[in-house]
Amino acid sequence: MNTEINKDRIETLYETRYLKCYDLQYSEGKHYYEASRRESESLVAKMTDDEVRKMLPDAVTVAVILHLPENRTRLLLSYEYRYPVGQFLLSPVAGLLDPEDKNSPDPLVTAAIREIREESGLRVKDTDRVYVLNPCAFSTPGMTDESNAFLCAEITLNDTDELNQNGAEGTELFDGFELLDRERAGKIFRTGRDEHGNFFSLATWMVLSIFLSMPF
């Protein structure tokens, strides 16, 4: 049985500004349904192997690590309202690439620096480090082609009073920060629950693992 998608037979079933649903036909009368942020012409399923290898992800997720006075190192997370689950979930700094990011010399780092500013109030300095760990990872490729790059930002901070969540845009809602040391981060990582007993996203679990693997 042919299980490859017929790239000439991809039909748009539902379309809004932020999300679309496509019918990916892989054989006569056989259908696979996909949700995507992308327009039909830029679907990953339509790309050649070489195009996929060179593609930019839809979004960035950032492990923001703060180097504080007295040699204290903390992982910065926040509580962000996640509409599909109706709760504030422990979350990393993250966001979609803007068109302006894509046109910059380093789109992923540019997007990460912008998201850090918007979601934490922190300005990345020339002496700080922002670097890519994984350039493109598909989130749940059984239902969507959405993808994230994972980055790390190491920021030296003298005063946590600089932190704020005033840069929330659109539907974004925040409810405070968590500054985790290695012990607290390890407990949350092992149990799969935050300190209120609630579950969190796979992206949060990944950022916790990045922090715990760092040789600080």
pLDDT of residue 3: 63
Residues 107-129: tens digit of each pLDDT: 999 999 999 999 999 999 999 99
Q: What percent of the chain has pLDDT over 70?
A: 99
Q: What is the mean pLDDT of residues 174-192?
A: 97
pLDDT of residue 61: 98
Q: What percent of the chain has pLDDT over 90?
A: 88
Q: How high is the mean pLDDT of the chain? A: 94
Residues 184-203: tens digit of each pLDDT: 999 999 999 999 999 999 99
pLDDT of residue 118: 96
> CA geometry: angle at 139 spanning 106 and 34, to 5°?
110
Q: pLDDT band for position 156 (50/70/90)?
A: very high
Which of 150, 136, 152, 138 shows the shortest CA–CA distance to 211? 152
The segment(s) of the chain belonging to CATH 3.90.79.10 are: 59-213
Structure tokens at 93: 């700094």
d(CA 57, CA 76): 23
Q: pLDDT band for position 173 (50/70/90)?
A: very high
Which CATH superfamily, name and number, covers 59-213? Nucleoside Triphosphate Pyrophosphohydrolase (3.90.79.10)
pLDDT of residue 1: 47
Residues 1-58: tens digit of each pLDDT: 456 777 778 999 999 988 999 999 888 888 899 999 999 999 999 999 999 999 999 9
> Does the predicted TM-score (pTM) go above 0.75?
yes
3-class SS string, the chain = CCCCCCCCCEEEEEECCCCEEEEEEEECCEEEEEEECCCHHHCHHHCCHHHHHHCCCCEEEEEEEEEECCCEEEEEEEEEEECCCCEEEEECEEEECCHHHHCCCCHHHHHHHHHHHHHHCCCCCCCCEEEEEEEEEECCCCCECCEEEEEEEEEECCCHHHCCCCCCCCCCCEEEEEEECHHHHHHHHHHCCCCCCCCCCHHHHHHHHHHHHCCC
Q: Is the CB of residue 186 less than 8 Å from the CB of residue 212? A: yes
d(CA 187, CA 208): 10
